[in-house]
Structure formats: C-alpha cells, structure tokens
Amino acid sequence: MEKKKPNNGGDQPQNRQWQPKIVAFLCHWCSYAGADLAGISRIQYPPNIRVIRVPCSSRVNPLHIIKALQHGADGVLVSGCHPGDCHYGSGNYLARRKFALLKRFLEFIGIEPGRVQFSWVSAAEGQKFASVIEEVVEDVRKLGPARRLVKNSVK
C-alpha cells in the first residue's frame, strides 16, 4: 500500500501556496534597529523577508539588487535612515540619488514597479518597519514570482 506522505507544506512549490521571497538590505544604524524594535515589541509582520545588514543604505550597489533578483528573490527592499539621520552624514542622500536613477532604469527595461522598493525606517519605528514589510510583501505577491532577470529561466 502506498504510504501517504505527510503534508507538512512540503518543499515542492506546487504543494503549497507560493510565498514571495524578499531580500531586505537594512542599514545597520536605523532600519536594522527598527526591525529589531519590531521584534522586541512583538509586532507581527509577514515572515517573507531575508535580512541582509549593511553599514549604510549607500553601501548597496545596484548589482547587489540585480544579483538578488537573478538568484531567487521575488522582490528587494533597501531601507536606510531618514534624510538628515545618516550615521555617516550623507550616505542616504547619495543613496537616494543612486536609487532614483536605478528605479527609473529598471522600470525602463521592463522590471515591474514594486519589485524593487526603498524606504526610510528609523530605529524608533518598529511599527513602520512592520507596515513597510507588509506593503512590500503584498505588492510582490500581487506581481507573482519574479521571472525577468532570473538566472536559467529568463522569461
């Protein structure tokens, strides 16, 4: 008799509802601490993010984002300190310029708006962190799994 496999969600994608994977680059001084605060305060948010801590939002190179999309992220979030709050003085201002260009450019070549997002979250904004994550996950869920730029299966 065939043994029934236990249904624990399984690791086959077709066995369970698809869940978006979001890579979140969080700056050490603000957004990462904001995420921490959300945790400490027991604020619920979707478990779809994989956090990568960076010293500053301006540390994030456009290639980091592209690489994340290439290798399985369905969405990318970059989050840093509010303008004026950068630990290094001006990192987030420089990042803002870089990402303004990148966002337009990615959309120009046909990457869906919403795949790559940006936010300012301070160390005191646990609640905002949770709601940003909720929004990003919701946006990416609507877009569906990433297909463009994905390695070995560009569609």
- The binding site for another protein (CB under 8 A) comprises 62-63, 66-67, 70, 83, 90, 93-94, 96-105, 107-113, 117-120, 132, 135, 148-152, 154
Strand partners, 51: 24
- For 3-39, b/e burial (b = at least 16 CB within 10 A) is eeeeeeeeeeeeeeeebbbbbbbbbbbbbbbbbebbe
Least CB distance to another protein at residue 154 (A): 4
Closer of 1 and 63 to another protein (Cβ): 63
Sole residue written with tokens 């290639």: 63
Cβ burial, residue 64 (10 Å; 0-12/13-18/19+): middle
Least CB distance to another protein at residue 98 (A): 6
Least CB distance to another protein at residue 70 (A): 5
Closer of 100 and 124 to another protein (Cβ): 100
* Cα–Cα distance, 148 to 97 (Å, whole number): 24
Closer of 10 and 144 to another protein (Cβ): 144
Closer of 28 and 103 to another protein (Cβ): 103
Cβ atoms within 10 Å of 84's Cβ, excluding its own: 10
Least CB distance to another protein at residue 151 (A): 5
